[in-house]
Structure 1
Amino acid sequence: MIELTRLNGGHLTVNCDLIKHVEAAPDTVLTLITGEKLVVLEPCSEIAERTLTYRARVLRAAWPEAATSLGAKAAHDASAFLRGIKHEVSED
């Protein structure tokens, strides 16, 4: 679950596994797999970063012996992914 901020400043917690896609239009709009749409203050890149951080935390808890061997590769992959997200957002 990741914490986000509604446009009115209120906080909400979203199950990031339910996010179908995120778009900047110009506000950030999350579309959930249920079809529900949420408008939040955080940019797309921040949502991607929070989602990656959350999933890494879940994987470390579920599979602690793999954390050290996956640490460097995961950090590299996450960095490359976030660079790609930031590039896509800057083109829009």
Structure 2
Amino acid sequence: MITLTKLNDKQFSLNALFIEQVESFPDTTITLTNGKKFVVKETETEVQLKVIEFYQKINVLGLRKSLEG
């Protein structure tokens, strides 16, 4: 799950696995695989970074960060 902020400043969690598309209109609009849309305060780049971090955390597509000890 990634935490995002709606335009009314309320935060919510979104399962990043269901994100199909992220666009800027100029507001960032996220479209899910079921067609539902969310408009958020975060930039498109911020959303992309959160998704990558989430994928690394759950080890999707072998994107796990190397563990340095």
Q: Give TM class, smaller chain.
A: 0.7 to 0.9
Structure with the larger strand share:
2
Output the aligned Cα RMSD.
2.4
Partner of 1:6: 6
Distance in 2 separating the partners of 1:35 and 1:68 = 35
Structure 2: runs of 5 or more not aligned: none
Distance in 2 separating the partners of 1:24 and 1:41 = 10
% identical aligned pairs:
32
TM-score normalised by structure 1 residue count:
0.65
Rg larger in 1 or in 2? 1
Distance in 2 separating the partners of 1:48 and 1:7 = 18
TM-score normalised by structure 2 residue count:
0.85
Distance in 2 separating the partners of 1:68 and 1:33 = 30
Structure 1: runs of 5 or more not aligned: 72-92
Structure with the larger helix share:
1
4+ residue runs of structure 1 moved beyond 3 angstroms? 66-69
